Amino acid sequence: MPVETHDIETRADCEHLVRAFYSRALEDPVIGYIFTDVAKLDLAAHVPKIASFWETILLGARTYGGGAFHPHAQIHARSPLRKGHFERWLALWGATVDELFSGPRAELAKSHAERVAGAFHARLHGYPSPYDTPAPLPIGGLTVTRHGPRE
């Protein structure tokens, strides 16, 4: 019999999601070593930070004040984070969200994770991110730019 789920509604829900995800990720044969051997993740310290990240994204609580990219860049410098690592992270995240929650915020948790993973992967590997501000478009061999008044 399927378990009835609710949407992500509280900080406790965010923490529950994060803890459930890491219980899978730390044991995962594809990405587990990144958390245990490369990042040497202190789960007791990490869970409140990541729960704050998701509480900010999903509930608008503004409890997260850190930058999420820099720690990933440090890990990438020690052991390259490849596309497959991001794909596996997303698969585990999506499965965990779907198992525990359903509703608009649960869907946002999955779609936001996909955007962040895509942007981080692109930035780590020097590709333009689909979420970066586009450069001015060339028109007829010319580039349109904005200039201030002449002095």
Q: Is the Cβ–Cβ distance between 41 and 34 less than 8 Å?
A: no
Structural domains in the chain plus CATH codes: 11-143 (1.10.490.10)
Predicted TM-score (pTM) of this structure: 0.80
pLDDT digits (tens, 9 = 90+) for 123-143: 998 875 554 444 444 445 444
Query: pLDDT value at position 136?
Result: 47
Task: Return the DSSP state at 146.
Answer: -
Q: Is the Cβ–Cβ distance between 133 and 117 less than 8 Å?
A: no
pLDDT band at 15 (very low <50, low <70, confident <90, very high): very high
pLDDT digits (tens, 9 = 90+) for 45-104: 999 999 999 999 999 998 888 788 888 999 999 999 999 999 999 999 999 999 999 999
- What is the CA angle 80-71-133, rounded to 5? 85
